[in-house]
Amino acid sequence: MTWTLIIRDARDEENQPQTLRFSLGIYLDDEDNFYDPRILQPGLYEAGLYAGQLLQQSRSGYGETTLVNSDGGLDYLADYAVDGREMELAFEGVPQVIGTVARLAFSETEVSVVLRDPLEPLRSPHPMETYAGTNVLPDGLEGTEDDIAGESKPLVLGEARNAQPVAVNTSKLIYQVSSLSDCTVTAVYDRGFALENGGNYTSLAQLQSTQPAPDEFRSFEGYIRLGSTATGTLTVDAEQADPRAGTVAQALATARGYTLHEDDVATLNTYGAVRCYLTSDTNTLDLLDRIAESIGGWLAVQADQVLRLGDWEEPEPTSAAINDYAIETVSRSAAGAGPGGLPIWRVNIECDRIETVQNDLAGNIDNARRARMSKQTRRVVATDEAVRDRHPLAGEITINSVLASYAKSQTVAQRVLALLSPRRDTVQVDAVEALLPTVGGNLTLFTPRQGYGASRAMRVTGYRLNAQTNELTLNLWG
């Protein structure tokens, strides 16, 4: 039994790239590369996915391999830079874990190679520009030191409805709703009254030099300029060139060095536009999670930093199986996604979001718009009373959606209800001599315990690998 660890492109004290190779026992690969036999614990590794309220679990991602250093033979690594470098943990030459090193941790007798959570770069605020505060009024588009200096420039991701823009030049009545160049302003409202659109500017220079007519607005990318001072709350409708869910999610991932799987981009785009208006720091991972939850979906990352974000679906039968002879223990903690681990009888979705709820609307605003501006979202509801008849304690879930379409949200609600209203088991299996599964993939469970004698199709929601003992804990759902 031979485990090997490779760290590629580590930088030595002279900043020269080096490949570090370690093994459990003496090992030479096919190219006669020597592996230093210092592995003590091949690896403890956890991986999981996020599926919002559809799963009773939190996301996980962790890994560590321990090396023997009782003789000080690895002290030289203190001068190495390994953070952000690729590592590969393999068994008998077959890769088991591919990840990115976070750091080396030294104790008296050991060196631990600690893996970075694959999603760690997404757990920080999404990149946003800030206002420089350099206006010399009446000129400039960066505000002044006395108003917006140092504040984040807003971003329209997908669409924004009834959003309050930032005043970037108070002398010329210029506002900004998004710093993205592909933003188009479609409407501007003063106390809910739609101003006349005087047309687009062709440049920032023209934006600053040419004033619109009274009660008009003109725009350039994410900027607007008014022809006269607003009498009350100023709001804007705006959208990106392609506001669909897949395109927006792909851009979010790309901005942080990830790739969204092309199949998932296509799937997400079928849900139409999303609405997200950023005015302050928000983690990129939170933004992607919102999209995943909005479609009744899931989010995970592959070893090559390709994100999977798509519909969470019921398990499918597959030849990939975990059999009773490889199972040490099996336990079932829930039979549904609702409170108490019971099925769901009702799904609520809050969708079609507006950014600003208004009570200061002008007197000539019609009742339909007045009613819509009084609520931030519209609610979609899907129910199944038969589930509550069978399970009197069955629960409900409410999804705060970024989907713009009410009709698409209705489709999601019905699909999620169909998915969560039947029995759905949450199972943990402790196994030995099992193959490392694909998170989000299908697996067939065979065991006479817990009523699975006839087998049950499951989906893998996560796992924990102890490579030293060859023990694998699987989290399954289905």
Which pLDDT score is estimated for 59?
83
- Cβ 238 vs Cβ 164: under 8 Å: no
Tokens 């970075």 locate to: 116
Handedness of CA 336, 339, 345, 351 (dihedral sign): negative
- Cβ 46 vs Cβ 60: under 8 Å: yes
Average pLDDT of the chain, as a whole number: 94
Convert the pLDDT of each residue in 389-430 to its tens digit: 999 999 999 999 999 999 999 999 999 999 999 999 999 999
Question: Domain spans of the chain?
Answer: 3-37+60-118, 134-240, 245-311, 321-335+424-477, 339-420
Convert the pLDDT of each residue in 273-316 to its tens digit: 999 999 999 999 999 999 999 999 999 987 677 899 999 999 99
The kind and range of the H/E element at 266 are helix 262-269
- Cβ 257 vs Cβ 162: under 8 Å: no
Stretch among 257-266, 332-341, 405-414 having the lowest mean pLDDT: 332-341
Position 166 pLDDT exceeds 70: yes
Alpha-carbon 255 to chain mean position: 13
Tokens at 435, concatenated: 């193959």
Please tell me whether residue 369 adopts helix, strand or coil conformation: helix
Position 470 pLDDT exceeds 70: yes
Beta bridge partners of 321: 444
Q: Band of the pLDDT at 438, cuts 50, 70, 90? A: confident
Convert the pLDDT of each residue in 72-115 to its tens digit: 999 999 999 999 898 999 988 888 888 889 999 999 999 999 99
236-252: average pLDDT? 98
Exposed (0-12), middle (13-18) or buried (19+): which is 382, by Cβ within 10 Å? buried
Which pLDDT score is estimated for 197?
97
Convert the pLDDT of each residue in 105-153 to its tens digit: 999 999 999 998 888 889 999 999 999 999 999 999 999 999 999 999 9
How far apart, in Å, are the Cα atoms of 432 and each of 1, 97, 179, 325, 461? Answer: 14, 17, 53, 9, 18
- Taking the C-alpha atoms of residue 431 and residue 332, their distance in angstroms, rounded to an integer, is 15
Among 426, 309, 311, 418, smallest CA distance to 56 is for 426
The half-sphere exposure of 91 on its side-chain side, counting CA atoms within 13 A, is 16
Position 1 pLDDT exceeds 70: no
Per DSSP bridges, beta strands 306-311 and 174-176 are unpaired
- Cβ 432 vs Cβ 471: under 8 Å: yes
Position 253 pLDDT exceeds 70: yes
Instruction: Report the percentage of the chain scoring pLDDT > 90.
Output: 81
pTM (two decimals): 0.90
Instruction: Report the percentage of the chain scoring pLDDT > 70.
Output: 99
- Taking the C-alpha atoms of residue 253 and residue 122, their distance in angstroms, rounded to an integer, is 8
The kind and range of the H/E element at 465 are strand 456-466
